[in-house]
Amino acid sequence: MKTKGAISNFIEKYYLHFNSAALVDAAKGYEDQLNKGSKMLVSLAGAMSTAELGKIFAEMIRQDKVQIISCTGANLEEDIMNLVAHSHYKRVPNYRDLTPQQEWDLLEKGLNRVTDTCIPEEEAFRRLQEHIVKIWKDAEAAGERYLPHEYMYKMLLSGVLEEYYEIDLKDSWMYAAAEKNLPIVCPGWEDSTMGNIFASYVLKGELKASTMKSGIEYMTFLADWYTENSENGIGFFQIGGGIAGDFPICVVPMLYQDMERTDTPFWSYFCQISDSTTSYGSYSGAVPNEKITWGKLDIDTPKFIIESDATIVAPLIFAYLLDM
């Protein structure tokens, strides 16, 4: 067993109560899952790729600390955008003070703001569009269909983007995932920038909608993967809320109730990092125990909720798992 590093020792010594204690408990619970042979799903919501989580998440992938990912279309594409256009991003630390006119000025400069960071439209969106559209059209011409992330993997592994790289390749989690052909589930991909671009080509009659595999096909893919990999349990580590978490966690009750496979095991671990406060009718703000009533978690499933900023919490948990 590796010796823990300075970051791990620091949080074990000083993170003793409240959300900090939950962070340590969740990290140890995650490690316990891996040590007993369980696999782990990590879900990425929000703008974690633009927050450059890839700088540590890519190493999690390389060291086999995550076996499947569920993410939004934004996270799928924004890690690659950061890879090819990093120097063109603009940080706006005073984003809370911007007037509507200043926001409009950013738009006119082709800078789309995500909290304190602006993504450059020309260098990021259009740079990817040029290459991904060719891959979509080539697939259609060959009578082939793929899932959204599979097209992204093809683009990354083809080398067509190499001339644009602006960060160390080891800091791209999508490239690390592509190298391993890691399973990805990307529900609701249509609402991403690349999803919108694909839809525009369908509207123009240049692509067929069927060239892109659907969300239902993602669910059936996940159902097969879960069935084949749940012998020692599969944990669920949720960063943020939304569809990236809602979609994959439902595979268990679907298999158990709708497919009547009553031997389907529940998720063997659950942790959510969220700053969504507990509130009426909120999924992201629901406490983990509510998931028991939906047939997702068992009574004894280790459950953790860390009410904090995921950009602070996730790197610390990953550092603990990587013995940093």
Model pLDDT for residues 49-64, shown as the tens digit of each residue: 999 999 999 999 999 9
| C-alpha distance from residue 216 to each of 35, 150, 213, 271 (Å) | 33, 16, 8, 25
Gap between the Cα atoms of 182 and 160, Å rounded: 21
**pLDDT tens, position by position, 272-313:** 998 876 667 776 667 888 899 999 999 999 999 999 999 999
Residue 311 lies in a domain: yes
**How far is residue 172's CA from residue 83's CA, in Å, rounded to a whole number?**
7
| Residue 15, in any domain of the structure | yes
Sequence letter at residue 255: L
Alpha carbon of 183 to those of 38, 146, 175, 266, 298: distances in Å? 16, 13, 13, 20, 25
Please report whether residue 56 resides in a domain: yes
Assess contact for 238 and 43: CB atoms under 8 A. yes
The answer to whether position 228 is within a domain reads yes
Do the Cβ atoms of 235 and 41 come closer than 8 Å?
yes
Q: Where are the beta strands (DSSP E) in 173-268?
A: 184-185, 234-239
pTM of the complete model? 0.96
- For residue 280, CA distances in Å to 45, 247, 276, 288 come to 21, 20, 12, 14
Question: Coil, strand or helix: which one is 130?
Answer: helix
106 belongs to a structural domain: yes
pLDDT at site 1: 62
Q: Which pairing describes strands 234-239 and 269-273: parallel, antiparallel, or unpaired?
A: parallel
Domain range for residue 224? 6-322
Number of domains in the chain: 1
Residue 156 lies in a domain: yes
How many Cβ atoms sit within 10 Å of the Cβ of residue 47?
19
Does the pLDDT value for residue 123 go beyond 80? yes
77-84: average pLDDT: 97
- What share of the chain in percent tops pLDDT 70? 98
Q: For residue 127, tell me if it sits in a domain.
A: yes
pLDDT per residue as tens digits for the range 142-188 = 999 999 999 999 999 999 999 999 999 999 999 999 999 999 999 99
What 3-state DSSP class applies to 283?
coil
Whether 1 is in a domain gets the answer no
Residue 179: give its domain's CATH number.
3.40.910.10
